[in-house]
């Protein structure tokens, strides 16, 4: 039998709670679920799902948000109600 070792890592409390509930529904412990994940990574030599960056945090979007925030700070913002915007659409 292979030697078993403990692995410790931090996990957000809410994520842990949700994962424990889902694992329980599946009849698994979290340990078993992570073991399945680790074995699949070793077998396929890849993360077994798509890992991507949320486009919200891409640098060009963050730059746009910083620019907008600066415009707000400088008072360069025009505020319109929905009625005013809809009236502009008609004209």
The tens place of each residue's pLDDT in the chain, 91 residues long, gives 789 999 999 999 999 999 999 999 999 999 999 999 999 999 999 999 988 878 888 889 999 999 999 999 999 988 889 999 999 887 6
DSSP per residue over 71-88, as a string? HHHTT------HHHHHHH
Whole-model pTM: value is 0.56
Q: What is the CATH number of domain 1-51?
A: 1.10.1220
In the chain, ranges of CATH 1.10.1220 domains: 1-51
pLDDT of residue 52: 83
């Amino acid at each position: 039998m292979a030697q078993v070792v403990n692995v410790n890592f931090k996990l957000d409390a809410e994520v842990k709670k949700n994962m424990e509930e889902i694992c329980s529904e599946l009849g698994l412990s979290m340990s078993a679920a992570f073991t399945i994940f680790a074995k699949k990574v070793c077998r396929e030599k890849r993360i077994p799902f798509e890992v991507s960056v949320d486009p919200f945090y891409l640098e060009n979007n963050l730059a746009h948000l910083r620019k907008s925030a600066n415009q707000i700070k400088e008072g360069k913002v025009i505020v319109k109600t929905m009625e005013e915007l809809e009236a502009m659409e008609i004209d």
